[in-house]
Amino acid sequence: MPDYTDEHAQAGIDTELPALETWPNQFKGYRIKTEIPEFTSVCPKTGLPDFGKLTIQYQPDRLCIELKSLKIYILAYRDLGIFYENVVNRILRDVVDAIDPVWARVQGDFTPRGGLNSSVDAEYRAEKRKP
């Protein structure tokens, strides 16, 4: 039996989380950067907590993320079993689905585990903008 199963690898990817609420953007061509210095989730294999700092950056098109809803969304990860590689990619997917930005980037800098630090980056760039 392998140490890590398909269930471990897929854990948390499609779990229902609180919605990211939005508000209409009034300007073009700027960047929003939000840092979450005390992010926590749970390793789906060991059940032990994972800690890190998340940075979400994006250039809004028509919508921006409402910060209180982002906080509630991020807090939902606290008890969620999900690998931190999947955390970063899941958050990027959810941000893109919510606001369809010009571009977005999510970076996770996670605290050492077993003497190893990990940093995970995921980025999205819109191919074509809607008229």
Residue of 3, 6, 14, 50 marked active site: 50
- Contact indicator for 58, 104 with CB cutoff of 8 Å: yes
Torsions phi, psi of 117, nearest 5? -95, 145
User: Beta strand 22-24 with 116-125: parallel, antiparallel or unpaired?
Assistant: unpaired
Burial (CB count within 10 angstroms: exposed 0-12, middle 13-18, buried 19+), residue 35:
exposed
Q: Tell me the β-bridge partners of 55.
A: 35, 107
**Residue 100 annotated among the catalytic residues of the structure:** no
Do 52 and 109 meet the contact criterion of CB atoms below 8 Å apart?
yes
43 is catalytic: yes
Instruction: Give the Cα separation of 18 and 26 in Å (integer).
Output: 25
Looking at 43, 61, 100, 109, which residue is catalytic? Answer: 43
Give me the active site residues, please: 43, 50
